[in-house]
C-alpha cells in the first residue's frame, strides 16, 4: 500500500484483521519490510500488522534533508496519525530500535504503546577499535587531498573511491543522501534514553550478533525499568529468523 506522509511517498504493509490489536513494526537499515515476511505473516494471524518502509528504503522516497533519529521518530508519529492509530504494540529490529527508543522515551506523544519488542535493536554506541579509526582517518585524509586542485585533476573521484573502501556494506550501498543520514543516526548514543522507557519491553537477541552485540541487549535489560532479555543461542543479527521456533514461542507468551 502507499500513503503520502510529510510530502514523501511511503510504501507500507497493512496485513491482518483491522478489528484486531495493531502491531507496528519498524525495520532495520537496508532491510525493507519484505525481509521480515516470516515474522509479519505469522503476526498477521492474530494482529493487524502495519509496517512502513521507512523513508529511503523499500521503494519509499528518501528524506529531503539529512535526517536524524528524531526526524524518523517524528515521521513514525505522523505516519500512525495518518492511519488513525492511537494504540499499538511496537516491534522493531536493528535501526528500528533507535526510532523506538526515542519514541518510547518521549514524555508526551499521542501514540500509546502497550508493549514493545526489540529484536537485536540498535541504539548503543559501539566500542571503537583501531580498525574503525583507521578507516575514518583514511577517509578524512582522502577528502582533504581531493580538495587540492592538482590532486583532484590527477585522481578524479578520489573521495568516492575511499568511501567505497573504508565504509561498511550498508554505507557503500547507500545513496549520498542516505549515507549522510546514516552517519547522523549511528553517531548518537541513546543509552541515556533507556531509563525513560516505561512500556513493558521484551528483548530478543542473537548470541553471536556482531552488528548489535549481546552486550547491548544486556545493557538495555539493565536500564529499561520493565524489560526482560531472551538470548537465541548460536544466532546472529537476524536471530529471530535463525531460531524462529524459539522466537515464536517467546512472542506468543509475551503478546498473549
pLDDT in tens, 83-105: 999 999 999 999 999 999 999 99
**Burial class, 155, CB count within 10 angstroms (exposed 0-12 / middle 13-18 / buried 19+):** middle
- The model's pTM is 0.87
Q: Residue 182, SS3?
A: helix
Spatial distance between the Cα atoms of 111 and 201, rounded to a whole number of angstroms: 16
21 CB-near residues (< 8 Å, 6+ apart): 47, 48, 87, 88, 89, 114
**To the nearest whole number, what is the mean pLDDT of the chain?**
91
Residue 194 has what DSSP assignment? G
User: Strand 48-52 and strand 8-15: pairing?
Assistant: antiparallel
Architecture of the domain made up of 2-125+189-255:
3-Layer(aba) Sandwich (3.40)
* Domain-wise residue ranges, the chain: 2-125+189-255, 130-182
Residue-wise pLDDT tens digits, 155-214? 777 556 655 565 578 888 899 999 999 999 999 999 999 999 999 999 999 999 999 999
Amino acid at each position: 500500500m502507499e500513503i503520502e506522509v510529510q510530502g514523501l511517498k511511503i510504501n507500507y504493509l497493512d496485513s491482518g484483521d483491522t478489528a484486531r490489536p495493531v502491531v507496528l513494526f519498524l525495520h532495520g537499515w537496508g532491510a525493507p519490510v519484505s525481509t521480515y515476511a516470516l515474522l509479519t505473516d505469522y503476526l498477521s494471524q492474530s494482529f493487524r500488522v502495519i509496517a512502513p518502509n521507512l523513508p529511503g528504503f523499500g521503494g519509499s522516497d528518501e528524506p529531503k534533508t539529512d535526517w536524524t533519529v528524531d526526524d524518523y521518530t517524528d515521521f513514525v508519529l505522523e505516519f500512525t496519525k495518518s492511519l488513525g492509530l492511537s494504540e499499538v504494540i511496537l516491534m522493531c529490529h536493528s535501526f528500528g530500535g533507535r526510532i523506538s527508543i526515542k519514541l518510547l522515551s518521549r514524555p508526551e506523544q499521542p501514540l500509546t504503546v502497550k508493549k514493545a519488542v526489540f529484536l537485536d535493536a540498535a541504539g548503543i554506541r559501539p566500542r571503537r577499535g583501531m580498525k574503525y579509526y583507521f578507516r575514518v582517518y583514511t577517509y578524512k585524509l582522502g577528502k582533504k587531498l581531493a580538495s587540492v586542485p592538482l590532486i583532484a585533476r590527477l585522481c578524479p573521484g578520489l573521495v568516492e573511491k575511499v568511501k567505497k573502501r573504508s565504509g561498511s556494506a550498508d554505507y557503500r550501498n547507500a545513496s549520498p543522501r542516505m549515507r549522510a543520514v546514516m552517519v547522523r543516526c549511528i553517531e548518537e548514543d541513546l543509552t541515556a534514553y533507556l531509563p525513560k522507557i516505561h512500556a513493558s519491553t521484551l528483548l530478543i537477541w542473537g548470541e553471536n550478533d556482531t552488528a548489535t552485540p549481546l552486550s547491548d541487549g544486556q545493557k538495555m535489560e539493565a536500564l529499561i525499568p520493565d524489560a526482560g532479555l531472551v538470548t537465541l543461542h548460536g544466532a546472529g543479527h537476524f536471530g529471530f529468523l535463525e531460531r524462529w521456533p524459539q522466537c515464536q514461542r517467546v512472542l506468543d507468551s509475551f503478546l498473549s
